[in-house]
């Protein structure tokens, strides 16, 4: 009883583990299907794996108390005779020189619960045989066995070969019956046995018709057959020697079937072997450091990701493409030009207006802001080419070492929003620019002071002229001494000179102050714009790349689960 419970518990645990592996394999197919096609995941592999998942899911839902064992072989191999020997009845018609079995025949030990399983296998009702009513004490150990006699794999009837192909994939345990004349037939080895590499636990080979050979010939055939199976990845597959005519070796074959039925593990083992095989085929899409399609690379699953500093490097490239330095220079020039209206040297200010150069100055100021608005509308032309070059460089760096199709999909993710980047950069630049025509408060105070100084210069000049006219030339009688005393002329002249020099010096000092402030603001502006461009790089370039790399990591994680974490995938 203890042994039975242990076997049951182990089987339950294995089925739970297999369920997790199948779930992981289904997720792998989902990930691969989104990246299939040319230079992507193999459509054939995805289709075959989907079929495996469907088949495995259906089998696990059906009777776990029954083990499906298929006898397969070519015409004249004696599989139908062995089927009848094991069934202890002439259920299947025997043919020697031409195919006789056109449909699969099934003999069931313990019919209860086998109906849905037989329907799934596609065994016609007229070819189902039950041993339930005829079980002898020696056959109770075979309870739960579903033994199939399949059509000949070399049948000339297309329907029969389709049945063989289907049941080879649906059976829990495969017993290949070979005869001494055709045991090395390339057709059976290439088409059926070689593709079952890694399925040694659920594949057995029977060399039938031993009665036609001597003991020495049997040894030679077995050794040669062992060599063939080993070369096909079936190193642990058991080889039995039988004679359906004399019954030799049939009991050993029966014991093999009893062991499979008693363990109740053949179905899980078969599906597990299928999952192992499928997972190994997906391994090439996870190997780093080489060309996955060619099977190169170390196969390791080291961490991948976007290199540190990528956002900053992209921001610098975007800044160059958008002409951020030119924006700063234009903004500084606009600020200085605007400040001149308030803090400029009054004489220069008057000269510009008297010379009617003010419209030209206004045009220049407007042109600077127009340039800023044009830049904020987004880079284009040659600047777009600079953005594309920066994206290409990042894509190549991030995708280095990734297997196909991930190297392609990661590059596509990096460039997925390339057309939206110029507009986004322009929007960020526009948001960072200060309002047009902003006037600092201290400019106004300096303007008032410059006005007072200019007024002093005008008053002094007028005083000087009055003194010259009234004091020197004696024009105007009764003029107050303040306007007629010649000795005051140096004072008036000094007032003019001091006012003009003070205004000039004040203008120079303010110009330096404005220039320094413009440089600081330009530095702050360009720094702000670069931070904004780094945010654009993060949202439009890095984030899509990270998402695709995360899918790659998820694929590799699911692959570990599907592969039950063999050493080669850790």
* Tens digits of residue pLDDT in 489-507: 888 888 888 888 888 888 8
| Cα–Cα distance for residue pair 546/205, rounded to 1 Å | 50
CB-based burial label for 94 (10 Å; 0-12, 13-18, 19+) = middle
pLDDT band at 478 (very low <50, low <70, confident <90, very high): low
* Residue 148, phi then psi, degrees to nearest 5: -105, 135
User: Does the structure show a pLDDT above 50 at 293?
Assistant: no
37 HSE (CA, 13 A, CB side): 4
User: Does the structure show a pLDDT above 50 at 292?
Assistant: no
The mean predicted confidence, pLDDT, of the chain is: 81
pLDDT of residue 8: 38
| Cα–Cα distance for residue pair 225/193, rounded to 1 Å | 12
Task: Record the tokens describing residue 198, joined without a space.
Answer: 């890694």
Q: What is the DSSP string of 84-121?
A: HHHHTS--S---SSS----S-EEEESS-TT-HHHHHHH
pLDDT of residue 465: 83
| Cα–Cα distance for residue pair 94/152, rounded to 1 Å | 11
CA distances to 45, 226, 239, 559 from 233, rounded to whole Å, are 20, 11, 14, 22
Residue-wise pLDDT tens digits, 147-194: 999 888 776 455 677 888 889 999 999 999 998 888 888 878 888 888
Cis status of the peptide bond prior to 168, with omega within 30 of 0: no
User: Does the structure show a pLDDT above 60 at 328?
Assistant: yes
Beta partners for 206? 177, 240
User: Does the structure show a pLDDT above 70 at 136?
Assistant: no
Task: Record the tokens describing residue 420, joined without a space.
Answer: 């939206």
pLDDT of residue 561: 93
* Residue 449, phi then psi, degrees to nearest 5: -65, -45
User: Does the structure show a pLDDT above 90 at 463?
Assistant: no
pLDDT band at 91 (very low <50, low <70, confident <90, very high): low
pLDDT of residue 249: 92
Pick from 119, 6, 108, 11: nearest CA to 67: 108
Taken in order of first residue, the domains within the chain and their CATH numbers are 65-263 (3.40.50.300), 310-569 (no CATH)
Pick from 424, 423, 378, 393: nearest CA to 545: 393
Q: Which residue has the higher pLDDT, 34 or 449?
A: 34
Indicate the SS3 state at residue 416.
coil
Q: What is the mean pLDDT of residues 434-451?
A: 78
Residue-wise pLDDT tens digits, 33-66: 999 988 899 999 999 999 999 999 999 898 888 9
Residue-wise pLDDT tens digits, 106-130: 999 988 888 999 999 999 998 888 8
Name, in order, each residue with C-beta under 8 angstroms of 91's C-beta and a sequence gap of 6 or more.
83, 84, 105, 107, 129, 149
pLDDT of residue 253: 92
Residue-wise pLDDT tens digits, 380-402: 444 788 899 999 999 999 998 89
E strand segments, 122-237:
128-130, 145-149, 173-178, 203-207
User: Does the structure show a pLDDT above 60 at 300?
Assistant: no
| Cα–Cα distance for residue pair 169/48, rounded to 1 Å | 11
Q: What is the DSSP string of 511-535?
A: HHHHHHHHHHHHHHHHHHHHHHHHH
Name, in order, each residue with C-beta under 8 angstroms of 103's C-beta and a sequence gap of 6 or more.
123, 124, 127, 151, 160, 163
| Cα–Cα distance for residue pair 359/370, rounded to 1 Å | 16
| Cα–Cα distance for residue pair 337/358, rounded to 1 Å | 11
Pick from 284, 264, 53, 290: nearest CA to 169: 53
pLDDT band at 568 (very low <50, low <70, confident <90, very high): very low
Residue 144: Cβ within 10 Å count: 20
Q: What is the mean pLDDT of residues 358-387?
A: 57
| Cα–Cα distance for residue pair 373/382, rounded to 1 Å | 18
∠ CA 138-142-144, nearest 5°, is: 145
Inter-residue contact 128 to 151 (CB < 8 Å): no
| Cα–Cα distance for residue pair 252/139, rounded to 1 Å | 14
* Residue 197, phi then psi, degrees to nearest 5: -55, 135
Q: Which residue has the higher pLDDT, 338 or 444?
A: 444
pLDDT of residue 157: 57
Percentage with pLDDT > 70 across the chain: 80
User: Does the structure show a pLDDT above 50 at 78?
Assistant: yes
Indicate the SS3 state at residue 47.
helix
Residue 121: Cβ within 10 Å count: 22
Indicate the SS3 state at residue 70.
strand
pLDDT of residue 539: 94
Inter-residue contact 410 to 395 (CB < 8 Å): yes
pLDDT band at 2 (very low <50, low <70, confident <90, very high): very low
Element (H, E) at 55: helix 43-61
pLDDT of residue 491: 86
Inter-residue contact 104 to 122 (CB < 8 Å): yes
User: Does the structure show a pLDDT above 90 at 543?
Assistant: yes
pLDDT of residue 93: 63
Q: What is the 3-state secondary structure (H, E, C) of 219-277?
A: HHHHHHHHHHHHHCCCCCCEEEECCCCCCCCHHHHHHHHHHHHHHCCHHHHHHHHHHHH
Name, in order, each residue with C-beta under 8 angstroms of 480's C-beta and a sequence gap of 6 or more.
none
Q: Which residue has the higher pLDDT, 300 or 178?
A: 178
Residue-wise pLDDT tens digits, 9-22: 445 677 788 899 99
Q: What b/e readout covers 393-432, taking b as 16+ CB neighbours within 10 angstroms?
A: ebbeebbeebbbbbbbbbbbbbbbbbeebbebbbebbeeb
Q: Which residue has the higher pLDDT, 350 or 397?
A: 397
Query: Which of 127-131, 261-265, 349-353 has the least mean pLDDT?
Result: 349-353
Name, in order, each residue with C-beta under 8 angstroms of 509's C-beta and a sequence gap of 6 or more.
none
């Amino acid at each position: 009883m203890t042994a039975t419970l242990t076997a049951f518990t182990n089987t339950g645990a294995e089925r739970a583990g297999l369920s997790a592996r199948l779930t992981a394999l289904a997720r792998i197919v989902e990930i691969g299907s989104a990246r299939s096609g040319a230079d992507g995941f193999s459509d054939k592999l995805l289709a075959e794996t989907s079929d495996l998942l469907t088949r495995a899911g259906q089998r696990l839902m059906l009777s776990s108390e029954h083990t499906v064992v298929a006898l397969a072989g070519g015409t004249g191999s004696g599989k139908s005779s062995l089927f009848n020997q094991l069934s202890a009845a002439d259920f299947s018609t025997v043919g020697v020189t031409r195919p006789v079995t056109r449909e699969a025949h099934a003999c069931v030990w313990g019919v209860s619960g086998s109906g849905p399983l037989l329907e799934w296998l596609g065994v016609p009702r007229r070819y189902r045989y039950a041993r339930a009513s005829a079980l002898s004490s020696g056959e109770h150990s075979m309870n739960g066995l579903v033994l199939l006699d399949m059509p000949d794999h070399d049948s000339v009837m297309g329907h029969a070969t389709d049945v063989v192909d289907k049941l080879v994939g649906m059976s829990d345990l495969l017993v290949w019956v070979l005869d001494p004349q055709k045991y090395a037939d390339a057709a059976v080895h290439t088409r059926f046995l070689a593709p079952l590499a890694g399925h040694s636990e659920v594949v057995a080979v029977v060399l039938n018709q031993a009665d036609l050979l001597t003991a020495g010939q049997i040894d030679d055939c077995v050794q040669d057959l062992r060599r063939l199976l080993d070369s096909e990845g079936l190193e642990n597959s058991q080889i039995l020697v039988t004679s359906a005519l004399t019954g030799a070796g049939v009991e050993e074959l029966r014991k093999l079937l009893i062991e499979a039925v008693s363990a109740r593990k053949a179905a899980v083992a078969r599906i597990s072997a299928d999952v192992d095989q499928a997972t190994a085929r997906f391994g090439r899409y996870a190997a780093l450091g080489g060309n996955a399609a060619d099977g190169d690379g170390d196969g390791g699953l080291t961490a991948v990701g976007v290199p540190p500093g990528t956002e900053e490097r992209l921001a610098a490239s975007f800044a160059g493409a958008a002409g951020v330095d030119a924006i700063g220079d234009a903004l500084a020039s606009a600020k200085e030009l605007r400040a001149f209206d308030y803090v400029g040297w009054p004489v220069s200010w008057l000269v510009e207006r008297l010379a009617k150069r003010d419209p030209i100055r206004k045009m220049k100021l407007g042109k600077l802001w127009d340039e800023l608005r044009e830049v904020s509308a987004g880079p284009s032309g040659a600047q777009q080419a600079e953005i594309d070059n920066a994206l290409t460089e990042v894509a190549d760096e991030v995708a280095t070492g990734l297997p196909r199709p991930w190297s392609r999909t990661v590059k596509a993710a990096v460039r997925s929003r390339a057309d939206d980047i110029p507009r986004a950069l322009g929007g960020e630049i526009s948001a960072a620019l200060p309002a047009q025509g902003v006037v600092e408060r201290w400019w106004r105070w300096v303007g008032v002071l410059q006005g007072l100084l200019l007024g002093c210069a005008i008053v002094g000049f007028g005083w000087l002229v009055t003194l010259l006219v009234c004091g020197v030339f004696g024009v105007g009688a009764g003029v107050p001494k303040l306007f007629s005393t010649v000795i005051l002329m140096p004072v008036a002249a000094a007032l003019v000179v001091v006012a003009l020099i003070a205004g000039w010096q004040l203008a120079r000092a303010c110009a330096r102050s404005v220039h320094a402030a413009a440089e600081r603001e330009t530095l702050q502006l360009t720094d702000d714009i670069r931070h904004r461009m780094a945010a654009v790089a993060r949202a439009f370039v890095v984030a899509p790349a990270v998402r695709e790399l995360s899918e790659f990591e998820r694929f590799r994680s699911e692959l570990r689960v599907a592969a039950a974490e063999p050493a080669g995938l850790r």
